[in-house]
Structure 1
Amino acid sequence: MSSRTPVRRAALAHPAIPSCLRRPAVEIEIVIPAVNEERRLPRTIEATVAHLRSQPWSSAVVVVDNDSVDRTTEVPEHFDNPVTPVHVIGCSEHGKGAAVRRGIVTSAARYVGFLDADNATPIETLDKILPLLRNGYAAVIASRHIEGSHCEVDSALRRCGGWTFRRLARTVLPDISDTQCGFKFFDGPLVRSVAANCQVNGFAFDVELLVRLARAGGTIAEVPVDWSDMPGSTFSARRDGLRSMADVLRIVLASVPR
């Protein structure tokens, strides 16, 4: 890995963002993209908030509702607290990437990141991540495919598709073992400036975001994680997997010198 080049920028103004979407600045804010997650979301928010409140950092959680038709938007109000606020904002543009991007660009936090609504990655992983961010990394991401990690995936189709996706992603991110684990945190000012220009709305948004961060001079660190394939995922290996590979292929082709 190349030597770290800390990027320190003043918080950027986003005049196009309505004031109702902006939130008070905290040291770390966690974005949770959600679509029809009223069943899985309570356990995830409860565990996340409990951990954050035990830490010395100022923090907040924001659930980005991606056009849910269930009671997803009602869940956060049961956990909201002045110590660690739990916000809800909407994102009518469909796709996990669109929802995460909305949460990032509307954040004013020093560090911002996201985790999946299924709670597949233990929130305690954050304790490994924050020191690296403070040490100057632009992005610190959980990885299921480096030494020290443990990954449980029941579906053979997902294992095969994941292997193919990783091989393709490494053509543009050769030093990254796992671009798709849903637990990533960033230097806030830098990622906001980068995310504002991202275009991929689907599950391959991580690749585009990391590629743009690297091109902006940011360095990326991976940390091992204990990860479990949780039931109830909205990800379809056939439908979303093919779309994601197509998106990555477009990112790869866009990276080829002309």
Structure 2
Amino acid sequence: MTDVDAHAPLPRSLTRPPVELELIIPAFNERERLPATVAAALGFLARRPWSSAVVVVDNNSVDGTPDCVDRFASSAMGRSVGFHVIGCGDRGKGAAVRRGIETSTARFIGFADADNATPIETLDPVMVLLRAGHGAVIASRHAPGAHLAVEQPRLRRGGGALFRALAHLTLPDIADTQCGFKFFPGPLAREIVRDCRVDGFAFDVELLAHVVRAGHDVVEVPVEWTDQEGSTFSARRDGLRSMTDLLRLSLAR
């Protein structure tokens, strides 16, 4: 039996047509929140001069998530913005985003949460910074100038503070590693994601750590962020795993 090279390029049949910007939206059981987010992204991108596409990565949803965005796929013909739905059999946000990046051929690529908590208009300054040559451009709720329009519940805020403290062991110069809105030059993202192993919510920290270790910078863009109900993050299911992943990443520095 011949060993498969894990770093070999994917077959062309598994990749999407090249565009300047590709937006990945990982989705696990997001039937209620996803349609509005996709509609907002498609509407915004249609008014921008960049060639672009929106890619929903369904992460083994059991609530019919792919079906709720079928209407966007069926109306894709003749629209200036591409729309794709792909699957990811491995569970976890990190696994879903990694799948989206690996199958992309875009010049710039990034991901946003399905809840649309970060305004899609943030892409305007993001694209300016990406074209200027920065290694990663990320939305930040804690950079100077950021504003929390609607805060998370107190328990979530406490968990977030602990997460940030542990994340700073690996990335001491980044104020907010977890705001779900991050963009990269496509070639860089595809290169570094090959060495990412975290499938869960600490994936963002691992990805940014690889950017920094590769000698690139990370720019934080302050945003007005709004907490949205219906998060699929479970403190019991995901919290301990995320903390363990963060500690492992800090030891790998």
TM-score (norm 2): 0.92
CA-to-aligned-CA distance 1:149-202 (integer Å, 9 cap, x gap): 112323111111111111111121111000000000001101110001100000
- Identify the residue that residue 68 of structure 1 maps to in structure 2: 61
Aligned pairs (5 A) from 1:126-205: 126-151=123-148, 152-205=150-203
Query: 1:106 is matched with which residue?
Result: 103
Instruction: Decide whether the 8 Å contact of 2:29 with 2:232 is kept in 1.
Output: no
Determine the C-alpha separation between the residues in 1 that align with 2:84 and 2:155: 36
**Within 5 A, what are the aligned runs for 1:1-258?**
15=8, 17-80=10-73, 81=76, 82-151=79-148, 152-255=150-253
- The alpha carbon displacement at 1:83 in A equals 1.0
Distance 1:20 1:34, change over 3 A: farther
Structure-1 separation of matches of 2:222 and 2:64: 34
| Cα offset, 1:214, TM superposition | 0.7
The residue type equivalent to 1:29 in the other structure is E
Contact 1:21 1:89 in 2 (8 A): no
Runs of at least 5 residues in structure 1 that lack an aligned partner in the other structure: 1-13
Identity across matched positions, percent: 60
- 1:117 and 1:202 map into 2 onto residues whose CA distance is 16
Separation in 1, partners of 2:237, 2:223: 27
What residue is the counterpart of 1:3 in the other structure? none
Shift of 1:129: 0.5
TM-score with structure 1 setting the length: 0.90
Write the letter of the residue equivalent to 2:60: D
- Please give the per-residue CA displacement for 1:19-70, whole angstroms capped at 9, x wherever unaligned: 4431000000000001111111100000000000000000001100111122
Contact 1:76–1:86 (8 Å) recurs in 2: no
In structure 2, C-alpha distance between the alignment counterparts of 1:16 and 1:75, rounded to whole Å: 31
- Aligned positions, number: 242
**Cα distance, 1:77 vs. partner?**
2.9
Asked if 1 retains the 8 angstrom alpha-carbon contact of 2:57 and 2:87, the reply is: yes
| C-alpha contact (below 8 Å) 1:76/1:87 kept by paired residues | no
Q: CA deviation at 1:18?
A: 4.5
Deviations 1:69-111, CA, capped at 9 Å, x for gaps: 2221123331242411110111000000000000011100000
State the one-letter code of the partner of 2:46.
R
**2-side partners of 1:185 and 1:86: how far apart?**
18
In 1, Cα distance between equivalents of 2:189 and 2:123: 18
Q: Displacement of 1:15 after TM fit?
A: 4.4
Aligned-pair RMSD on alpha carbons? 1.3
Moved over 6 A (4+): none
Task: Please list the CA deviations of residues 214-246 of structure 1 after superposition, one character each: whole Å capped at 9, or x if unmatched.
Answer: 111111100011111111110123432222111
SS at match of 1:101: helix
Q: Deviations over 1:87-140 (max 9, x none)?
A: 011100000000000001110000000000111111001111110000010100
Confirm or deny: 8 A CA contact 1:30 1:60 kept in the other structure.
yes
Structure 2 alignment gaps of length 5 or more: 1-6
